[in-house]
Amino acid sequence: IYWKFMIKQRKRNPDTKRSISAPPLVPSSEKKLKELAKKAIYFLKRKYGKPDEGRHRIVFFDYDNDQVIKVPISDSGIAANFQELDIQDKHLAITDLDLNLSIKYGMPILRMELVKPILMEDLKNLPDWIYDIDMVQVGHTKDGRLVAYEWDTF
């Protein structure tokens, strides 16, 4: 099911001093999403290098800002981005919508704090909540918090 709701960013037009709406952040079709994602990925690769590829999102590493950038490549990727934005949980890495990239590429693009994944041999003596996370995708933030870096349930 394609996400039908739209998010619009209001901007002030400097010439007329009136508010104008930026393009919607949810593409109108799966085909349009693929076109926009291809364009975003091309330009982000030039800036951040080779990304990691997931089932529904492409993830770039912005090491200068200790963040990752999550670009949706399917309906489920858009849903995962909105889900991670919506969740207010102490166990999820800090996540925000990157308005500049989202408006530029016409889709919801996230920035999440960079997390160093834990190794499988380190799973002993960790809290039980980590086993509720898809594929136990958890790790430590720069300040040492144990958090999930993927909350994908799709």
pLDDT tens-digit series, residues 65-117: 999 999 999 988 988 888 888 886 788 888 888 989 998 999 999 999 999 99
Task: Give the DSSP H or E segment for 70.
Answer: strand 67-72
Q: What CA–CA distance (Å, rounded) separates 39 from 104?
A: 10
Mean pLDDT of 115-143: 87
The pair of structure tokens assigned to 127 is 């809290």
- The closest of 89, 84, 91 to 108, measured between CA atoms, is 84
Taking only the tens place, the pLDDT of each residue in 39-63 is 999 999 999 999 999 989 999 999 9
User: Which amino acid makes up residue 24?
Assistant: P
pTM equals 0.80
